[in-house]
Amino acid sequence: MGRSRRTLPEELLLLALDPATGTTAQPQSLDLGLAGAQLVELALAGRIAPDGDRIAVVVPRPTGDPTLDCALELLRRRGAPVRAVHWIGGPRLGLRQIYLSHLERCGMVAAVPGQMCGVLPTTRYQATDTAISREIRARLDSAIRTGVPPDPRTAALAALAHAVGLGKHLYPGNEGRSSRSRLRDLIRHDPMGGLVAHAVMDVQNGAAAQPRRGPATAGRQAGHGARTAAEPARGVPMQPSRGSMARAVAH
């Protein structure tokens, strides 16, 4: 995989960055979305494929992207297909910071240091090349407004944006209601993106549900079975942080 093309995790993160404040929308669910976006990117590269509600490695050859290849290697080490909800729900230490740092090295964002409560150091990230963010947003807008089935990459990006709750960030207020609805509907145009997006929503529902309620909330997603994400993600290793704890990121 060449590095001339932005990956889905990078595009999802750029969509979530607020151009005015430099903070990320939906930071907690965004972390899940980035892990899911890695799976979709690996699928688009032909390295993994869905196997029911599980993810199977079909070609273990590296892609050339260090962060994606780390995820691919972890999947390969499992030795058997892993459930998408278990993979996405596993710990992903510093994944958002890894991608922010990469975007900074590529010149797409600039780090702006600051302080929280006048004491704790924080870092905001301002987009430096707004044309890139506009192009990503335009792809979503076109898919929403024209009704023409989007390409798999745009369909997966739409599915992930909906799953992590970016709809209200991208299309706010009552005037954005129909756009948010159509954003959700785009989930059906890419099987892998749909699988991953539903897994992201399942993990969020499982984490939010009280233990006494069990996994019933996972079944509320439209067209999705009552899969539980409350099971522990046993054996899922952490992503390397690459020094991401050296500075805090303002959310």
pLDDT tens-digit profile, the chain (251 residues): 434 478 999 999 999 988 777 788 888 899 999 999 999 999 999 999 999 999 999 999 999 999 999 999 999 999 999 999 999 998 877 899 999 999 999 888 888 887 667 677 778 888 887 888 889 999 999 999 987 889 999 999 999 999 999 999 999 999 999 999 999 999 888 899 999 999 999 999 984 333 333 333 334 444 444 343 333 333 333 444 333 333 334 44
Structure confidence at residue 121 (pLDDT): 78
Tokens read off for 247: 């500075």
Predicted pLDDT of residue 111: 87
**Hey, what are 134's tokens?**
């506009």
**Of all helices (H) and strands (E), which one includes residue 51?**
strand 48-51
Which of left, alpha, beta for 7 (phi over 0: left; psi -120 to 50: alpha)? beta
Residues 6+ apart with CB under 8 A from 50: 43, 56, 84, 191, 192, 195
Tokens of 198: 């539903």
Structure tokens at 250: 């303002």
